[in-house]
């Protein structure tokens, strides 16, 4: 039986680079904290193939009787679901220098293979074609169980993300006079996630590579255009370019102890193999619209500085963003070039087209230091290539505090 393994990928939104407030260049006032607790729910059932067609996550698998005809075609209609909470903390080191970190904590990962079966050739020893039950009985006679729906990663940590945003245009008054800002952001991922269990056919890891939403180190260059006078500061247009690296990671190969027909890799792959994930690069365009600012009322939050009331965030902000992400070739390195290529051909160069929309409320003008939001991230409406296509729902709230 040709080896088959499914690893859950591409289920998270990018935490730190997708700041929950408006604009690509926004920072916090010096000495101010922002605490963000968000819930993320992601579902993926399809991927974009090499021809830009939306297809199931796993290709159909043709099965043949040893030395005889086709048993049939195993057709996985995999559905993967992930839920997590994403606590984030940001701090204004300077008025134009922001530091933040995010801690993705998985609530659960569910993967259902949902196998279907297409009958193959007539089998003289059975007097008919193989049914799906016949196939799994045949596999079971050699010690291979039928893969079942899997749940795991309950309370498991992902890679902790760190970010630093510097709005360097503050040092040139020309940008402020023309309602423009430039910023640079660095992100990095600490190796705190868990790789998938190599002995399971249906499983999911929580490292940056397994989740495939952000690189392990990246640089983002951003531009924002404001319309403070002409449009009463109700519109912000932003543009960002980025490059994110993956570094080679070593994984342990499977022995086939639990799945002898599907996952006996070690004899020809070796004890360990390396994955060098294909780097990300691309750009984002974003617009932030303020349909409801709210009046500048005095509350206990502005008692010490009454002029601050007019500068508080608006009551309602709408954000729309489009991101194009190019994916480079991913490289597997083991003792078997054939095994490497079987995996590499599913991770050939490609791209993602990502749509993101957010509705953010700010209750600061009402004297409540909370900013709830809800957002949606989509990868199925615009075709991509050689990429998983999850859809993600996010909801959370932010709290802004200053202790000194």
pLDDT digits (tens, 9 = 90+) for 128-186: 899 999 989 988 998 989 999 999 999 999 999 999 999 999 999 999 999 999 999 99
128 near 122, Cβ under 8 Å?
Answer: yes
Please, which pLDDT band fits residue 22 given cuts at 50, 70 and 90? low
Mean pLDDT of the chain: 90
- Is residue 21 pLDDT above 90, yes or no? no
Q: Is position 1 within any domain?
A: no
pLDDT at 4: 46
What does the alpha-carbon distance between residue 379 and residue 13 come to, in Å, rounded to a whole number? 11
The rounded Cα 165 to chain-centroid distance in angstroms is 20
- Is residue 6 pLDDT above 60, yes or no? no
- Is residue 215 pLDDT above 90, yes or no? yes
Instruction: Give residue-wise pLDDT tens across range 54-113.
Output: 999 988 888 887 777 898 999 999 999 999 999 999 999 999 999 999 999 999 999 999
Mean pLDDT of 112-132: 89
pLDDT at 307: 67
Helix (H) or strand (E) holding 322: strand 316-327
pLDDT at 365: 84
pLDDT at 253: 95
170 near 95, Cβ under 8 Å?
Answer: yes
| Among 157, 156, 152, 155, CA closest to 190 | 157
Q: Please tell me which residue, 245 or 403, carries the higher pLDDT value.
A: 245
3 state DSSP class of 364: helix
Give the tokens for residue 321: 């963003």
Torsion of CA 169, 170, 171, 174, to 10 degrees: 70
- Is residue 221 pLDDT above 90, yes or no? yes
Q: Is position 263 within any domain?
A: yes
Give the tokens for residue 87: 């606590």
CATH of the domain at 325: 2.40.160.40
What does the alpha-carbon distance between residue 210 and residue 400 come to, in Å, rounded to a whole number? 32
pLDDT at 9: 40
391 near 378, Cβ under 8 Å?
Answer: yes
What does the alpha-carbon distance between residue 109 and residue 80 come to, in Å, rounded to a whole number? 7
- Is residue 13 pLDDT above 50, yes or no? no
What does the alpha-carbon distance between residue 238 and residue 225 come to, in Å, rounded to a whole number? 6
pTM over 0.85: yes
- Is residue 12 pLDDT above 70, yes or no? no
- Is residue 375 pLDDT above 50, yes or no? yes
How far is residue 34 from each of residues 99, 139, 166, 239, 285, measured CA to CA in Å?
10, 55, 16, 24, 24
- Is residue 3 pLDDT above 50, yes or no? no
Instruction: Return the bridge partners of 217, or none.
Output: 188, 245
What does the alpha-carbon distance between residue 403 and residue 399 come to, in Å, rounded to a whole number? 13
Instruction: Give residue-wise pLDDT tens across range 315-365.
Output: 899 999 999 999 999 999 999 999 999 999 989 999 999 999 999 998 888
- Is residue 244 pLDDT above 70, yes or no? yes
The residues, any chain, with a CB within 8 Å of residue 372's CB and separated by 6 or more, are 360, 361, 363, 395, 396, 397, 398
pLDDT at 17: 39
pLDDT above 90 covers a percentage of the chain that reads 71
3 state DSSP class of 373: strand
Between β-strands 54-56 and 70-76, what pairing exists: parallel, antiparallel or unpaired? unpaired
What does the alpha-carbon distance between residue 102 and residue 89 come to, in Å, rounded to a whole number? 7
pLDDT at 211: 86
Strands (DSSP E) along 45-119, which ranges? 46-48, 54-56, 61-64, 70-76, 79-94, 97-102, 105-112, 115-119
Number of domains in the chain: 1
Mean pLDDT of 219-224: 98
What does the alpha-carbon distance between residue 290 and residue 311 come to, in Å, rounded to a whole number? 14
Full residue range of the structural domain in which residue 374 is found: 6-402
Please, which pLDDT band fits residue 241 given cuts at 50, 70 and 90? very high
Mean pLDDT of 396-403: 88
Mean pLDDT of 21-45: 91
Helix (H) or strand (E) holding 173: helix 173-177
Q: Is position 218 within any domain?
A: yes
- Is residue 199 pLDDT above 50, yes or no? yes
3 state DSSP class of 185: strand
Instruction: Count other Cβ atoms within 10 Å, centred on residue 229.
Output: 8
Q: Is position 123 within any domain?
A: yes
Q: Please tell me which residue, 114 or 8, carries the higher pLDDT value.
A: 114
Provide the b/e sequence for 54-64 (b: ≥16 CB within 10 Å): eebbbeeeebe
What does the alpha-carbon distance between residue 12 and residue 215 come to, in Å, rounded to a whole number? 12
- Is residue 295 pLDDT above 90, yes or no? no
Q: Is position 201 within any domain?
A: yes
């Amino acid at each position: 039986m040709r080896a088959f393994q499914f690893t859950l990928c591409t289920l998270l939104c990018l935490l730190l680079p997708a700041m929950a407030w408006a604009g690509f260049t926004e920072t916090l006032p010096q000495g101010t904290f922002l605490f963000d607790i968000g819930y993320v729910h992601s579902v993926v059932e399809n991927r974009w193939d090499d021809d830009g067609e939306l297809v199931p996550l796993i290709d159909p698998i043709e099965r043949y009787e040893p030395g005889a005809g086709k048993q049939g075609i195993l057709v996985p209609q995999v559905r993967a679901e992930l839920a997590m909470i994403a606590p984030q903390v940001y701090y204004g080191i300077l008025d134009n220098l922001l530091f933040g970190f995010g801690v993705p904590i998985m609530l659960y990962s569910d993967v259902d293979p949902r196998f279907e079966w297409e009958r193959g050739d007539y089998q003289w020893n059975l007097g008919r074609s193989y049914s799906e039950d016949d196939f799994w009985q045949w596999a079971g006679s050699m010690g291979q169980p039928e893969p079942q729906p899997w749940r795991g990663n309950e309370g498991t940590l992902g890679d902790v993300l760190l970010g630093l945003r510097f709005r360097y245009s503050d040092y040139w008054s020309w940008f402020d006079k023309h309602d423009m800002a430039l910023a640079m952001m660095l992100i990095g991922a600490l190796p705190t996630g868990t790789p998938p269990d190599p002995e399971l056919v249906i499983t999911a890891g929580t490292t940056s590579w397994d989740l495939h939403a952000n690189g392990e180190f990246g640089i983002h260059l951003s531009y924002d255009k404001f319309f403070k006078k002409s449009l009463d500061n109700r519109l912000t247009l932003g543009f960002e370019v980025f490059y994110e690296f993956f570094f080679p990671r070593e994984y342990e190969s499977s022995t086939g102890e639990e799945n002898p027909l599907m996952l006996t890799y070690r004899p020809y792959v070796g004890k360990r193999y390396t994955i060098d994930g294909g780097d990300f690069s691309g750009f984002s365009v974003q617009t932030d619209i303020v349909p409801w600012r709210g009046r500048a009322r005095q509350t206990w939050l502005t008692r010490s500085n009454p002029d601050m009331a007019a500068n508080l965030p608006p009551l309602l902000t709408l954000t729309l963003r489009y991101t194009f992400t190019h994916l480079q070739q991913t490289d597997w390195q083991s003792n078997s070039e054939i095994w490497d290529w079987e995996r590499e051909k599913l991770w050939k160069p490609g791209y993602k087209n990502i749509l993101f929309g957010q509705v953010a409320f700010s209750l600061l003008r009402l004297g409540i230091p909370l900013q709830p939001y809800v957002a949606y991230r989509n990868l199925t409406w615009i075709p991509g290539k050689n990429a998983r296509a999850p859809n993600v729902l996010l909801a959370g709230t932010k709290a802004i505090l200053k202790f000194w």
